[in-house]
Amino acid sequence: MSEKIEPTYYIQHHLQNLTWGQVPAGTERCDGQVLESSQWILAACSQELEAMGFWSFHVDSLLWAGLLGGVFILVFWLMARKAHSGTPSGMLNFVETLVEFVDTQVKDTFHGRSSLVAPLALTIFVWVFLMNLVKLIPVDFVPYVVMETTPLEYFKIVPTVDANITLSMSFSVLALMIAFTIKAKGVGGFISELTLQPFSADNIFFKIILIPVNLVLELAAMLAKPVSLGLRLFGNMFAGEFVFILAAALLVGWQAVVSVPWAIFHILVISLQAFIFMMLTVVYLSLATEEH
């Protein structure tokens, strides 16, 4: 990385995940070797990435998401062990304040009864915030260390810049929405919400005719919620990461002039995006339990 690198290659390289996937027989690897049988490999160049197709895994995103989730669990577990009836201080005071803040938001927004929603909201807020926070690490630092100490070619550290991570989280919210609806209204109530609204009729014949129309509209509305939830987080984080990469690639000697103010501003952005993801999740789960 010490030699001069073309800005286009630099940007493309920094936007590429470390990918593990299966390549078919006949694939030419980066070193010119042709595989005689299909293999699972870590991609080292663009031709290997293209050969993998859809069924591949972004190892770096999964690693960092799991690592930061583990940090959240460890810190809150340690603070829970230190909790006492007296006045908290230091890290314990911060954790208790955060828990009370999230609990207040849930009580004001979720109108059903569930012991799952508040812990879920806390997990989402802290986890998304931590995944966003690593964006403030200089874009070259971790990739440089990885490339200098391992044979790996690609390595990204911000999980929320990967649409696979944000959409997997949002579709998990969709699964919870369906589960909450069935628990509150039963299977019949869930099916009736998809088929008997927004258009209805007293005549049984017209009611049957309207079922396909209602089903298409309700399914589209239901799927739009998790898709927009995941893409909103991904889009905002990707835009911020792209600005950092552009500053490093094109503004040699001026990175601090652009990156430092943008990083300060981004502290607000990463907090806001974590809060939005949490609140929309709570709102969607509340709507799932309410009668129309």
Q: Answer yes or no: is 167 within a domain.
A: yes
DSSP-assigned beta bridge partners for residue 22:
40
Residue pair 132/237 in contact by the 8 Å Cβ criterion: yes
Q: Answer yes or no: is 40 within a domain.
A: no
Which of 138, 135, 146 has the alpha carbon at shortest distance from 255? 138
Catalytic residue among 38, 46, 200, 228: 228
- Residue 232 is among the residues annotated as catalytic for this protein: yes
Nearest-angstrom CA–CA distance, 201 and 197: 10
Catalytic residue among 132, 214, 236, 259: 236
90: left (phi over 0), alpha (psi -120 to 50) or beta: left
Q: Is 40 helix (H, G, I), strand (E, B) or coil?
A: strand
Mean pLDDT computed over 13-41: 86
Between residues 279 and 244, the one the model is more confident about? 279
Cα separation values, 290 from 100, 101, 112, 268, Å: 25, 24, 7, 33
Q: Answer yes or no: is 23 within a domain.
A: no
Mean of pLDDT over the chain: 86
Q: Answer yes or no: is 153 within a domain.
A: no
- How would DSSP label each residue in 104-131? HHHHHH--S--SSHHHHHHHHHHHHHHH
Catalytic residue among 232, 259, 271, 286: 232
- Per the structure, the count of domains in the chain is 1
Q: Answer yes or no: is 277 within a domain.
A: yes
Q: Answer yes or no: is 274 within a domain.
A: yes
Q: Answer yes or no: is 206 within a domain.
A: yes
Is pLDDT of 76 > 70? Answer: yes
Range of the domain at 244: 59-146+158-289
pLDDT tens-digit readout, 151-161: 888 888 999 99
pLDDT band at 149 (very low <50, low <70, confident <90, very high): confident
The sheet that has 19-23: what strands, in order across it?
Answer: 39-42, 19-23, 56-58
Residue pair 165/228 in contact by the 8 Å Cβ criterion: no
Q: Determine the pLDDT at residue 214.
A: 87
pLDDT tens-digit readout, 220-261: 989 999 899 999 999 999 988 888 888 777 766 556 566 677
Q: Answer yes or no: is 7 within a domain.
A: no
**What pTM, to 2 d.p., does this model score?**
0.86
